[in-house]
């Protein structure tokens, strides 16, 4: 994992499903996307993270040829976009800014209509493919129901079914669990995993960190139009600063020990067995000596601190996001 500039987190020889270089988009004087170098490995489930207004959807629109870039280049499945648009799009399924359907038609009729408009689709297998796509997203029982009677979550799943009408090498899903209940969220999560298992690359734009952490192998973080980090999910987590957690009735003495070891204790909160202190663990290369957990416990005990609980908590994706952007982030639906 590295900050933007180059193709961080991905080996140079790794085949990429999506690659951007210096990609930018300006609306007058406003810079929506600022020279991003994105590298999405083939076969990955790639989470594209960032708060509203960070440039995620604009980036996706440029990737798919729905918006022109102000500068820079995009390759999708190894082909330049938008010049190779007609070769790329038949190999890509996408939901961008929510699915749109004819409300007076049934779910199955909508999919039949959309599939018939695709000159690359085979009419002889249309009925079977529509049925299979509906079954895969759990809408078989609602296939004959008019879309105007669908919930938001059902419409979202119908959009995914549309993206699956033909075999796709790349799926681009913009907020795929938006509006879904917990059961629907689990179904989409399992669906994404199965698509990746079949060999497809799945690019998921989301504001739900919990979902990204459960399904993604790689991720990138956008902030104010810039790509501030990307790489394998494990590397992004490890780059976050770890914390120690101490449970003790001797909060004042424990706090003094932690400060002497180069940590910054957070405000404690009682849990019935004493105060709970959390403290950032110094990292190598940041002007502070790294402190091992054994050294911390030994120092606490030597100072007469009664330690009733101790743990080192790895930095979470949420912690790393806040470090990179200085903003909060939704972690649950």
Question: 3-class DSSP state for residue 175?
Answer: coil
Q: Tell whether 44 is covered by a domain.
A: yes
In percent, how much of the chain has pLDDT > 70?
A: 79
As a whole number of angstroms, the distance between CA 166 and CA 133 comes to 9
Closest by alpha carbon to 219, among 205, 230, 203?
A: 230
Task: Name the domain count of the chain.
Answer: 2
Domain presence at residue 323: no
List, for residues 105-157, the tens digit of each pLDDT value. Answer: 999 999 999 999 888 788 889 999 999 999 988 899 999 999 999 988 788 88
Half-sphere exposure of 256 (CA within 13 A, CB side): 8
**What pLDDT, on a 0 to 100 scale, did the predictor assign at position 325?**
58
Examine residue 319 and state whether it is found in any structural domain, yes or no.
no
Residues 6+ apart with CB under 8 A from 171: 92, 93, 94, 163, 164, 192, 195, 200, 201, 202, 203
279 and 208 assigned to the same domain:
no
Strand order in the sheet with 243-248: 269-270, 275-280, 243-248, 309-313
Give the pLDDT of residue 77: 95
Please give the average per-residue pLDDT across 218-229, as a whole number: 89
Q: What b/e string do you get for 64-102 counting C-beta neighbours within 10 Å, with b at 16 or more?
A: bbebebbebebbbbeeebbeeeeebbebbbbbbeebebe
Does residue 211 sit in the same domain as residue 259?
no
The parent domain of residue 124 ranges over 16-238
Q: 50 and 197 in one domain?
A: yes
Tell me, rounded to whole angstroms, the distance of Cα 85 from its chain centroid. 25
Top pLDDT among 17 and 183 is at 17
Tokens of 10: 């991905």
Can you state the angle between helices 107-116 and 152-163, rounded to 10 degrees?
30
Residue 87 and residue 176 in one domain? yes
pLDDT bracket for residue 65 (50, 70, 90): very high
Same domain, 166 and 284: no
Instruction: Give dist(CA 28, CA 70) in Å, integer.
Output: 10
Q: Which residues pair with 325 in a beta bridge?
A: none
pLDDT for 9 beyond 50:
no
Shared domain check, 264 and 231: no
298 and 233 within one domain: no
pLDDT in tens, 27-45: 999 999 999 999 999 999 9
Has residue 12 got a pLDDT over 70? no
pLDDT of residue 13: 53
Question: Among 104-108, 170-174, 282-286, 325-329, whose mean pLDDT is lowest?
Answer: 282-286
CB 63 within 8 A of CB 172: yes
In a shared domain, residues 99 and 189: yes
- Pairing state of beta strands 243-248 and 309-313? antiparallel
Q: Are residues 162 and 309 in the same domain?
A: no
Using DSSP, state whether 6 is helix, strand or coil: coil
Alpha helices in the chain (DSSP H): 56-63, 85-88, 107-116, 126-136, 152-163, 182-197, 209-215, 233-239, 251-260, 293-302, 317-325
Residue 173 placed within a domain: yes
Taking only the tens place, the pLDDT of each residue in 276-322 is 666 555 544 343 455 677 888 899 999 999 988 888 766 666 666 66
* Residue at a domain's end among 221, 238, 255: 238
Position 137 scores a pLDDT of 84
Neighbours of 259 (CB within 10 A): 12
- The predicted pLDDT at position 8 comes to 44
In a domain, 145, yes or no: yes
**Pair 204, 123 in one domain:** yes
Is residue 191 scored above 70 in pLDDT?
yes
Burial of 31 (0-12, 13-18, 19+ CB in 10 A): middle
> Does the pLDDT value for residue 47 go beyond 80?
yes
Residue 107 resides in a domain = yes
Average pLDDT over residues 70-96: 93
CATH of the domain at 52: 3.40.50.300
In this structure, the answer to whether residues 249 and 228 fall within a common structural domain is: no
- Counting residues of the chain whose pLDDT is more than 90, the rounded percentage is 36
79 with 218, same domain? yes
Q: Answer whether residue 333 is part of any domain.
A: no
- pTM: predicted TM-score of the whole model, two decimal places: 0.72
Asked if residue 118 belongs to a domain, the reply is: yes
């Amino acid at each position: 994992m590295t900050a933007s500039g180059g193709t961080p987190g991905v080996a140079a020889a790794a085949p990429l499903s999506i690659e951007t270089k210096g990609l930018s988009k300006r609306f007058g004087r406003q810079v929506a996307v600022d020279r991003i170098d994105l590298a999405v490995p083939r076969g990955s489930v790639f989470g594209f993270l960032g708060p509203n207004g960070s440039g995620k959807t604009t980036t996706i629109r440029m990737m798919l040829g729905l918006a022109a870039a102000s500068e820079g280049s995009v390759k999708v499945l190894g082909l330049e976009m938008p010049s190779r648009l007609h070769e790329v799009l038949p190999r890509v399924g996408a939901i961008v800014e929510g699915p749109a359907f004819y409300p007076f038609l049934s779910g199955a009729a909508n999919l039949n209509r959309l599939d018939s408009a695709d000159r690359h689709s085979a009419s002889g297998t249309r009925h079977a493919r529509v049925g299979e796509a509906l079954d895969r997203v759990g809408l078989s029982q609602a296939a004959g129901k008019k879309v105007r009677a669908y919930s938001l979550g059902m419409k979202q799943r119908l959009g995914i079914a549309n993206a699956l009408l033909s075999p796709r090498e790349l799926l681009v899903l913009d907020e795929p669990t938006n509006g879904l209940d917990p059961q629907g969220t689990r179904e989409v999560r399992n669906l994404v995993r199965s698509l990746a298992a079949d060999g497809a690359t799945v690019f998921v734009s989301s504001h739900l960190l919990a979902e990204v952490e459960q399904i993604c192998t790689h991720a990138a973080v956008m902030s104010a139009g810039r790509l501030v980090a990307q790489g394998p999910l494990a590397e992004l987590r490890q780059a976050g600063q770890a914390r120690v957690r101490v449970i003790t009735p001797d909060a004042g003495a424990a706090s003094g020990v932690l400060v002497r070891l180069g940590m910054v204790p957070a405000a404690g909160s009682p849990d019935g067995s004493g105060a709970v202190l959390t403290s950032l663990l110094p990292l190598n290369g940041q002007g502070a000596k790294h402190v091992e957990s054994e050294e911390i416990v030994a120092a606490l005990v030597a100072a007469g601190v009664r330690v009733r609980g101790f743990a080192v908590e790895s930095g979470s994706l949420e912690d790393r996001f806040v470090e990179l952007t200085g903003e909060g982030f939704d972690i649950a639906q």
